[in-house]
Amino acid sequence: MKITAAVVREKGQPFQFEELELQDPREGEVMVKIAASGVCHTDEVAQQQMIPVPLPAVLGHEGCGIVEKVGPGVTEFEPGDHVVFSFGSCGHCDSCLAGRPYACENFNAINFGGVMSDGTRRLSKDGQEVSSFFGQSSFATYSVVHKNSIIRVDKDLELDILGPLGCGIQTGAGAVLNRLKPVAGSSLVVFGCGTVGMSAIMAAHLCPCKNIIAVSGNEESLALAKELGATHGINRKTCGDVVAEIKKITGGGADYAIDTSGVPDMVKKALASVKFLGTAVVLGVTGDLTINVQEELMGEGKSLIGIVEGDSNPKLFIPQLISYYKEGRFPFDRLIHVYDFNDINEAFHASHSGKVIKALLKMN
């Protein structure tokens, strides 16, 4: 069928709208009419080819919509179902079978290799194949997604806002709730107050942590972070020594630190801000980092870890986050700023500049 999609054809070039051909869903797949899609930093990373997704490609990986048709072998979904998308996984490797799809042995091939889980493509134009992204390519009017990557949601929920749960929000919240699991009274510092950072802050507030410290260069973001659960805010642009201030607040260092910025210097500060046996987490796409292992890591028994997609099993974790949202304890909707699909390049600019926290594209 013919669809409209935002296509990236060259590194760093703006999105351009094109009519593409979308094949019908194959075994285990579902076709969905896209309602909305979040804009995530990982989309920009792919657009800029920091992650070399084969071009041309249709990006977008925080989609949601209504099931249009199902492929052979799909019994869990039917036309009319409201669904949220998440990352792709193969479903049959040891990690997937153990309930850890975020550690799928085929994760990179499915999510960044431009193909579906069976190694083929569904998108094309004039006979030329177009790459998919995260097994969904949600910057389009319709998408074909494997059943492993979609989660049914109640129809009484506002569908449009749910897409960002599939990546940025579950990444930040999952890092706290699924991996770190801080006990009541713990201290946690978050570097960067974008979608991932704010989600981590809201999750820490659920625990509840005693000290939740937000670090950002944006006063408006710091104010919102405090409304969402942060107990302290540090403006990295005006604070002379961020690490010293964190140690002052926590009485010697935080139990946990999370960097969402992807800036190597911020990762070093996150590691420096945790106390003896503390854990620093990297959630942002980060380049080379040089540390003195003895002085900055080993000497105090610290841990520096990377977490993928919040260690989340989306089919279990996203419904859990929705439950918290319905109870008024996880107000992720406050992060969202809505744009029309036609304004995708404006939405990306606003996200990159920090004008908005979570840009959301509505398709209709």
Q: What would the 3-class secondary structure string for 318-345 be?
A: HHHHHHHHHCCCCCHHHHEEEEEHHHHH
CATH class in words for 2-166+331-362: alpha beta
> pLDDT for 301-337, tens place per residue?
999 999 999 999 999 999 999 999 999 999 999 999 9
pLDDT confidence band for 362 (50 / 70 / 90): very high
pTM: 0.95
Q: How many CB atoms lie within 10 A of CB 361?
A: 27
Q: In which band, very low, low, confident or very high, does the pLDDT at 117 lie, cut at 50, 70 and 90?
A: confident
The one-letter amino acid code at 23 reads Q
What per-residue string of b and e applies to 173-199 under the rule 16 or more CB within 10 Å gives b? Answer: bbbbbbbbebeeebbbbbbbbbbbbbb
Question: For 250-277, what is the mean pLDDT?
Answer: 97
Q: Where in the chain is the domain with CATH 3.90.180.10?
A: 2-166+331-362
Of 49-53, 201-205, 344-348, the range with the lowest mean pLDDT is 49-53
| pLDDT at 130 (0 to 100) | 98
- 43-63 pLDDT, tens digit each: 999 999 999 999 999 999 999
| Nearest-angstrom CA–CA distance, 315 and 299 | 40
Instruction: For domain 172-307, say whether CATH 3.40.50.720 is its number.
Output: yes
Mean pLDDT of 248-253: 97
pLDDT band at 126 (very low <50, low <70, confident <90, very high): very high
Mean pLDDT of 134-138: 96
Tell me the pLDDT tens digit for each residue of 140-170.
Answer: 999 999 999 999 999 999 999 999 999 999 9
At CA 200, angle to CA 245 and CA 271, rounded to 5?
45
CA distances from residue 343 to 134, 295, 308 in whole angstroms, order as listed: 22, 48, 30
Going by the DSSP 8-state scheme, the letter that residue 23 receives in this structure is P
Residues of the chain with CATH 3.40.50.720: 172-307
- Degrees, nearest 5: CA angle 356-174-158: 55
Q: Is residue 3 over pLDDT 80?
A: yes
pLDDT on residue 52: 92
**pLDDT at 160 (0 to 100):** 96
pLDDT at 65 (0 to 100): 98
Instruction: Check residue 122 and give its pLDDT.
Output: 97
Residue 364 confidence (pLDDT) above 80: no
- Residue 284: what pLDDT? 87
